[in-house]
Amino acid sequence: MKVAFIGLGNMGSAMARNLLRAGHDLAVYNRTRRAADPLEKDGARVAASAREAAVGAEVLVTMLADDAAVEAVIFGDRGAIEGLARGAVHASMSTISHALSRRLAAEHGTRGQLYVAAPVFGRPDAAAAGKLTIVAAGPAEAIDRCRPLFEVMGQALEILGDDAPQANVVKIGGNFLLASAIETLGEAFALVRKHGIDPARFLEIVNGRLVRSPVYENYGAIIAHQRFQPPGFKLRHGLKDMRLALAAGDEVDAPLPIAGLVRDHYLSAMAWGWADIDWAGLAKVSAVEAGLEQAREGPGATIAGGVKAGAGAPSR
Amino acid sequence: MKVAFIGLGNMGSAMARNLLRAGHDLAVYNRTRRAADPLEKDGARVAASAREAAVGAEVLVTMLADDAAVEAVIFGDRGAIEGLARGAVHASMSTISHALSRRLAAEHGTRGQLYVAAPVFGRPDAAAAGKLTIVAAGPAEAIDRCRPLFEVMGQALEILGDDAPQANVVKIGGNFLLASAIETLGEAFALVRKHGIDPARFLEIVNGRLVRSPVYENYGAIIAHQRFQPPGFKLRHGLKDMRLALAAGDEVDAPLPIAGLVRDHYLSAMAWGWADIDWAGLAKVSAVEAGLEQAREGPGATIAGGVKAGAGAPSR
Amino acid sequence: MKVAFIGLGNMGSAMARNLLRAGHDLAVYNRTRRAADPLEKDGARVAASAREAAVGAEVLVTMLADDAAVEAVIFGDRGAIEGLARGAVHASMSTISHALSRRLAAEHGTRGQLYVAAPVFGRPDAAAAGKLTIVAAGPAEAIDRCRPLFEVMGQALEILGDDAPQANVVKIGGNFLLASAIETLGEAFALVRKHGIDPARFLEIVNGRLVRSPVYENYGAIIAHQRFQPPGFKLRHGLKDMRLALAAGDEVDAPLPIAGLVRDHYLSAMAWGWADIDWAGLAKVSAVEAGLEQAREGPGATIAGGVKAGAGAPSR
Amino acid sequence: MKVAFIGLGNMGSAMARNLLRAGHDLAVYNRTRRAADPLEKDGARVAASAREAAVGAEVLVTMLADDAAVEAVIFGDRGAIEGLARGAVHASMSTISHALSRRLAAEHGTRGQLYVAAPVFGRPDAAAAGKLTIVAAGPAEAIDRCRPLFEVMGQALEILGDDAPQANVVKIGGNFLLASAIETLGEAFALVRKHGIDPARFLEIVNGRLVRSPVYENYGAIIAHQRFQPPGFKLRHGLKDMRLALAAGDEVDAPLPIAGLVRDHYLSAMAWGWADIDWAGLAKVSAVEAGLEQAREGPGATIAGGVKAGAGAPSR
């Protein structure tokens, strides 16, 4: 199938490579050209713009960092929406906001293009192994069109219905569950440590006998053994996802107090210079609040405006 | 073994029955005599006071609702501590505060008695099946003495060390993890419902593919299908356990913001008359806060003091 | 002075009228034409577009509901920024985000226009009486240019410096202080009511003897006597301002947990259909949470997307 | 009048001295004898026990640190309740829990003694100047009996009714209002500082023009100028009062989320070694959370139980 693939970070590169290996015809685009080199060697055509990548594609896949990146690539100058043919499908696989997903559905609709929201659960290793879980929503025919691609990239496909943005809500809700579990582990570990109990032992008992979740197992181990480097998923992206959860709640008048609390803790982690450790580093904030660990002063008071625009921009 | 068993609620009765069946010699005591009748038929001797039950026992087991009940039965008028012989063991299996457990360790110590904290994870059906998880801490010899009993009541014994109150912290920390998971599910379900998504479907995806925990599975199903009656564990006891968690944190200067938030939601649930539904009913509070469900005005403004002493007392 | 005045709600109309009375030459614009009629009778020229209003003005004043309204009027189709002359000043007096204020400063700057952020404290009656407090920041010469107008609209002018968006932060921080005081009163009143104490009496003692603030006095009276209609400042706008506070904190990695909590309570108030009562109605949420008052189910589950776009739009 | 005065800290000593100066006949008692020396020189009789002080007194005044101190002095070994005559009055002026106040009312009642709860607002300097605000509740005749004393110690007497514990709720609610205002200032100051705005300037505008409260003025100045030493009211006591507020809410099913949040921040302050700075030091926690200031690791992990009993005890 002729596929345009935009966004070649850790996740996107692995997914694109799997598509190539399965014999699909790929045009790729990435904001920084260099990230496309390995895929070019593997047989992908490297486009000079998002628009160019989209021309002639049956399916356009986007796998980007956040709303702003998707907006730039789709609606920006030489954006993909201008190149995509009528009847072609845009499968948006990034974790983006419900609001942007709704806008994408509408804008593609007015151009006779099809839109599928298909965010994924899984880390880069799952992406490389083609073992992602894909949650898809959108017109049935469009999902069917993407199915051969989804089967290459993921091992599980959950179809939600025809209202595309619902898939984004499920993805956001899922990350909210994970972040909440991490926060809870962080608080519980701080509690038991101050009572002189080894958190790994606590985890062994409570998860081993009761919760029995690989998520608690994995994140619990990361936290108990303080293995926040290298990050599997960066803390700054965890913060982004809490913002998405709060925005999704705000839109429908649903308060999410735990998401607010986690957001606050992520902000402190940012202020303490921990933007690029694993998002399980959230647990360090509870350790600091209990006096078990030391918080750093920020890397200079983060000043809004001019300074921040420079210094802070890459961190969001 | 000669065993005194105090506290014959749903949990205690099932545990005592298993001890009887295994051939142990039981003296039982319960504040309301009637609860002891079935065990009497099964061969237990019914004592007229906690003190009387304790006389001659090698091991005294307590399985009571809360700190106040344990204090009354141990330190109160004709309390068990007066009857228990030097060298005998008190195995406190209730979920009680770290502070009371510490006091029990000290008071038994001054009388030459031994003290083991051995709280359990598991619901009444697990108690009946002898499948509890028991978390024990205290002097090794005392735990060894209790081992034949623990093996009858539970299928797993986790020994934590010789500082008895640590077992209570692990139990409290475990219930904090569960309550936090319930709260998170409640918030996430409110979010997805307002976005038109079936919470059971959401759970199927996120727990089925990601969290994979029987705890999320079970509580998620209870919440998604609104099965809060009959309660497996009453909401008022969930509130009690959040109070224990907060107290355990307070003692060592460890803030537990999620526990505070869950406590607040349980208080609202109490104010709305939901004290006796399952503690997963916590999720109803998030549904109310999102406008999906109706809160009740309290059963008359709960007034402190005189009125409350009467009306409210049984609810704690 | 030749003035363009855009935004003729309760606040804007009163401010514009004072400018007219002081002899200034006004061109006014409002999205719905009808709101301009009374000012037209008083001598204002009614422009057909924001752009037209701005042409020829020495100072452009905007007094609009939120960021979206300011963006539409300034940057939208036939927006004011196209009509405003080089060297003319835009005094933005609305409560808008720090981020938008920064963008306005930049965009006006590239066009050789001057920009002053000059948000106000005060309700419609203060606006009518010319007794607003104006907090201004921006280039000194631009503030000087606006001074004759500010003196007519306000009784106090606080100049903050030359970084315009700082004035927005002060305004947002001020409203955060007010909302926090209202939330606190709401919680305290719920507490004392449940203990059988008249909240008005509590307020009399605590504010009368201790806090001695007219803000506590006024909002306390509104809450104690449940006078939420007609609204002095609508609850939906209180929610908006908490969003601004959280966004201002987010931008610089400063968590504001009270703002998060107040936001959540405002969201519940929205879900319960209280968008258009006074923002002191926040206190009703604490009353509901304590079982003193009944929450309503939402006016139909607020559904995101299509339905919401229609039904919910006016409520934001 | 024959008065027994128990509790000679900063507040109590000043109040007792005023009673002496007004010509009353004082028997004083303090746990550490030395604190009584200055009053002895001024003419007070120093009793060897609380019981002894109470014998013969028409009114017994207690002014102690917390519930535990009051319980020890009244109900403990050689406690005042044994010495107090039938018909004599106990005026409890400490900030104690609603629950203890209710118990005091009941216990005095069964002995034919009268009980008045009469907590005070005001710092040591106000106590020295006889300018406290006294909030009294209890039987009218008992309050009347105390009136000559209250008039010497305070400049304002607010009588609440005949249900004594209500006075404690008002006092607790008042301190909740103050702590909440301090927390809000701390958060707002962190926000404006990170945006490059001087908090003193922010306070000048927002309190000067809007809130106009001496409480905001004073605490705002303490925070803006970081004057947390010497403490006017110690942070550990601020924490104690939040515990009282939460307990008062818990008793009647009234969640107080701001009190929970403030409690959490006070716990972090304790963990960071700030127990003995002014309670306005709460604001430092917000500064730490925003990366503006450095948190300290605790003075060794606070370990519960044995170690804590020694090391931690003085900090509560």
Query: Over 80: is that where the pLDDT of A68 sits?
Result: yes
User: Quick one: pLDDT band at residue A313, thresholds 50, 70, 90?
Assistant: very low
On whether the CB atoms of residues D182 and D282 are closer than 8 A, the answer is yes
> Is the confidence at residue C308, as pLDDT, over 90?
no
Inter-chain Cβ pairs, chain C and chain D, closer than 8 A: 187
- B9 plus B131 within the same structural domain: yes
Local confidence band at A56 (pLDDT 50, 70, 90 cut-offs): very high
Instruction: Tell me the C-alpha distance between B187 and B179, whole Å.
Output: 12
Q: Is residue D76 part of a domain?
A: yes
SS3 D92: strand
On whether both B142 and B185 belong to a single domain, the answer is: no
Residues 6+ apart with CB under 8 A from B147: B157
**Along chain B (316 residues), what's the average pLDDT of each consecutive run of 10 residues?**
97 98 98 96 97 98 97 98 98 98 98 98 95 98 98 98 98 98 98 98 97 97 96 96 98 98 98 97 98 74 39 31
Q: Residue C315: its pLDDT value, please?
A: 31
Closest chain D residue by Cα to residue C192: D169
Sign of the dihedral defined by the CA atoms of residues C21, C22, C28, C30, in that order = negative
CA distance D220 to D91: 34
Peptide linkage before A38 cis (omega within 30 of 0): no
How far the first Cα of chain A sits from its last, in Å, is 35
Restricting to C residues 205-224, those with a Cβ less than 8 Å away from any Cβ of D are: 205-206, 209-216
The answer to whether B216 touches B183, Cβ cutoff 8 Å, is: no
Domain boundary among the residues B111, B146, B162 is at B162
A236: closest chain C residue by CA: C253
Q: Which residue is catalytic, options B2, B131, B171, B284?
A: B171
Asked if the C-beta of D134 comes within 8 angstroms of chain C's C-beta atoms, the answer is: no
- A234 is annotated as an active-site residue: no
Q: What is the pLDDT of residues A155-178, one digit of tens each?
A: 999 999 999 999 999 999 999 999
Looking at the DSSP bridge assignments, the partners of residue C26 are C3
D199 contact B CB<8A: no
Query: By three-state DSSP, how is residue D45 classified?
Result: strand
Q: Which of B176, B179, B206, B177 is nearest to B191 (CA)?
A: B206
Segment A207-212 shows an average pLDDT of 96
SS3 content of chain A, % helix, strand, coil (to 5): 55, 15, 30
What's the token pair of residue A61? Answer: 């896949």
- Residue C269 reports pLDDT greater than 90: yes
Q: Are residues A111 and A68 in the same domain?
A: yes
**For the residues of B240-284, what is the DSSP string, one character each?**
HHHHHHHHHHHHTT---HHHHHHHHHHHHHHHTT-TTSBGGGHHH
Residue C316 lies in a domain: no
Q: How confident is the model at residue C310 (pLDDT cuts 50, 70, 90)?
A: very low
Size of interface A-B (CB pairs under 8 A): 186
Which of A123, A133, A197 is the best mutation test for B, with the most CBs of B within 10 A?
A197
Q: Does the beta carbon of A295 lie under 8 angstroms from any beta carbon of chain B?
A: no
Question: Which residue of A177, A242, A282 to mutate against B (max B Cβ within 10 Å)?
Answer: A177
Is residue C155 within 8 A of residue C132, CB to CB? The reply is: yes
List chains touching B (3+ CB pairs under 8 A).
A, C, D
Separation CA A219–CA A231 (nearest Å): 12
Q: Which two tokens stand for residue B9?
A: 């609620």
Q: Is the pLDDT of residue D147 over 80?
A: yes
Assess whether A152 and A177 both reside in one domain. no
Q: Is the domain of B178 the same as that of B294? A: yes
- Contact residues, chain C, for D188 at CB < 8 Å: 173, 176-177
Is residue A311 situated within a structural domain?
A: no
Query: What's the whole-number average pLDDT of chain A?
Result: 93
Whether residue D244 is contained in a domain is answered as: yes
Determine contact, residues D286/D186, Cβ cutoff 8 Å. yes
Quote the pLDDT of residue D297.
62
Does any domain span residue B315? Answer: no
Query: Is residue B159 classed as helix, strand or coil in its secondary structure?
Result: strand
- What pLDDT sits at residue A316? 28
pLDDT for residue C309: 31
Inter-chain touch B202–A290, beta carbons under 8 Å:
no
Burial class (CB in 10 A: 0-12, 13-18, 19+), C313: exposed
| A25 and A147 belong to one structural domain | yes
Instruction: Please tell me if residue B191 touches chain D, with a CB cutoff of 8 Å.
Output: no
User: From CA C149, how far away is CA C3, in angstroms rounded?
Assistant: 9
Kindly list the residues from chain C whose CB atom is less than 8 angstroms away from the CB atom of residue A248: 304
User: Does the structure show a pLDDT above 50 at A252?
Assistant: yes
User: How far apart (Å, rounded) are the C-alpha atoms in residues C206 and C224?
Assistant: 14
Residues from chain C contacting residue D204 (CB–CB below 8 Å): 158
Q: Where are the beta strands (DSSP E) in chain D?
A: 2-6, 25-29, 45-46, 59-62, 89-92, 114-117, 120-121, 132-137, 154-161
Nearest to C269 by CA among C240, C296, C292, C304: C296
Residue D268: pLDDT band (50, 70, 90) is very high
C306, pLDDT greater than 90: no
**Residue found under tokens 């201790």:** C210
CA of A105: which chain C residue's CA is closest?
C305
Beta bridge partners of C3: C26, C59
Q: Do D291 and C190 make contact, defined as CB atoms within 8 angstroms?
A: no
The pLDDT score that the predictor gives to residue A297 is 62
Residue A15 and residue A35 in one domain: yes
Average pLDDT of span C255-267: 98
User: Distance, in angstroms, between B302 CA and closest chain A CA?
Assistant: 26
Q: Which residue has the tokens 């036939």?
A: C78
In the block, tokens 């077992």 appear at: B167
Q: What would the pLDDT profile of C6-50 be if each residue is shown by its tens digit?
A: 999 999 999 999 999 999 999 999 999 999 999 999 999 999 999
- Residues of chain B contacting C288 with CB distance shorter than 8 Å: 295
- Range of the structural domain that residue A22 is part of: 2-163
Structure letter (DSSP) for residue D33: G
B225-253 pLDDT, tens per residue? 999 999 999 999 999 999 999 999 999 99
Distance CA C39, CA C23 (A): 13
A261 touches chain C (CB under 8 A): yes
Q: C100 vs chain B: nearest CA distance in angstroms?
A: 29
Q: Give CA–CA dist C43/C31, Å, rounded.
A: 19
**Domain CATH code at residue A268:** 1.10.1040.10
List, in sequence order, every residue forming a beta bridge with A156; answer none if it has no partner.
A133
Do C116 and C213 fall into the same domain?
A: no
Identify whether C311 is part of a domain: no
For residue C265, what is the nearest residue in chain A, using CA coordinates? A255
Which helix (H) or strand (E) element contains residue C139? none
Q: Choose among B267, B294, B298: nearest Cβ to C297.
A: B294
Instruction: Report whether pLDDT(A241) > 70.
Output: yes
Residue C275's φ and ψ, nearest 5 degrees, are -60, -30
pLDDT tens digits along D233-262: 999 999 999 999 999 999 999 999 999 999
Element (H, E) at B16: helix B10-21
Q: D186 near D224, Cβ under 8 Å?
A: no
Q: How far, in Å, CA of C131 to CA of C153, rounded?
A: 7
What's the rounded Cα separation, in Å, for the pair D150 and D167? 15
Residues A112 and A74 in one domain: yes
Among B124, B143, B162, residue at a domain's last position: B162
- Interface check for C259 against chain D (CB to CB < 8 A): the answer is yes
- From the list D102, D243, D253, the residue facing B267 with the nearest CB is D253
C307 at the A interface (CB within 8 A)?
no
Q: Exactly one of D171, D234, D240, D284 is catalytic; which is it?
A: D171
Instruction: Using the Cα atoms of residue A297, residue A301, residue A304 and residue A309 in order, give the sign of their dihedral.
Output: negative
The DSSP symbol for A314 reads G
Mean residue pLDDT of chain C comes to 93
What residues pair up with D59 in beta bridges, in sequence order?
A: D3, D89
Residue-wise burial string across D246-271, b where 16 or more C-beta atoms lie within 10 A, e elsewhere: bbbbbbbbbbbbbbbbbbbbbbbbbb
C302 in contact with A at a CB cutoff of 8 Å? Answer: yes
Both tokens of C284, joined, read 């009703």
Q: Which residues pair with B134 in a beta bridge?
A: B120, B157
Residue bearing tokens 């600091």: A288
Is the pLDDT at A109 greater than 50? The verdict is: yes
Distance of CA A230 to the CA centre of its chain: 17
pLDDT for the residue A298: 59
Pair (B140, B225) in one structural domain:
no
Neighbours of C227 (CB within 10 A): 15
**D304 contacts A298? CB cut-off 8 A:** no
| Cα–Cα dist C176/D113, whole Å | 49
CA distance A289 to chain C (A): 14
Distance CA A215, CA D242 (A): 36
Residue B110 class from Cβ within 10 Å (0-12 exposed, 13-18 middle, 19+ buried)? exposed
* Cis omega (within 30 of 0) for bond into C299: no
Closest Cα to residue B245, out of B260, B265, B267, B266?
B260
Residue A301 scores a pLDDT above 50 = no
Q: Which pLDDT score is estimated for C92?
A: 98
C-beta separation of D195 from C98 below 8 A: yes
What residues are paired with D6 via a beta bridge?
A: D29, D62
Contact B234, B224 (CB under 8 A): no
Q: Is A199 helix (H, G, I), strand (E, B) or coil?
A: helix
In the predicted structure, residue A314 carries a pLDDT above the cut 80: no
Distance from C-alpha of A172 to C-alpha of A179, rounded to nearest angstrom: 10
Burial of A229 (0-12, 13-18, 19+ CB in 10 A): exposed
Judge whether A316 lies within some domain: no
DSSP secondary-structure letter at B232? S
- What's CA C147's distance to the chain center, in Å? 21
Instruction: Assign residue B47 the CATH number of its domain.
Output: 3.40.50.720
Pairing relationship of beta strands B132-137 and B154-161 according to DSSP bridges: parallel
Mean pLDDT of D48-74: 97
Half-sphere exposure of D212 (CA within 13 A, CB side): 10
**pLDDT bracket for residue D295 (50, 70, 90):** confident
- Residue ending a domain, among C163, C198, C230, is C163
- Chain B hits for D304, CB-CB cut-off 8 Å, are 98, 102, 165, 169, 248, 251-252
List A171, A234, A240, A284, catalytic entry: A171
Name the DSSP letter for residue D87.
T
Residues D211 and D135 in one domain: no
Task: Please calculate the CA angle B22-B27-B28 and round it to the nearest 5 degrees.
Answer: 100
Chain B residues lying within 8 Å of A169, measured CB to CB: 191-192, 195, 197
Interface of A with D in 157-186 (CB under 8 A): none
Domain count for chain D, please give it. Answer: 2
A267 within some domain = yes
The predicted model scores a pTM of 0.94
The two tokens of residue D301 are 């992990």
B180 and B297 both lie in a single domain? yes
C271 neighbourhood in chain B, CB within 8 Å: 289-291
By C-alpha distance, the chain B residue nearest C286 is B268
Contact criterion met (CB below 8 Å) for B5 and B40: no
The shortest CB-CB distance from B294 to any of C193, C264, C295 is to C295
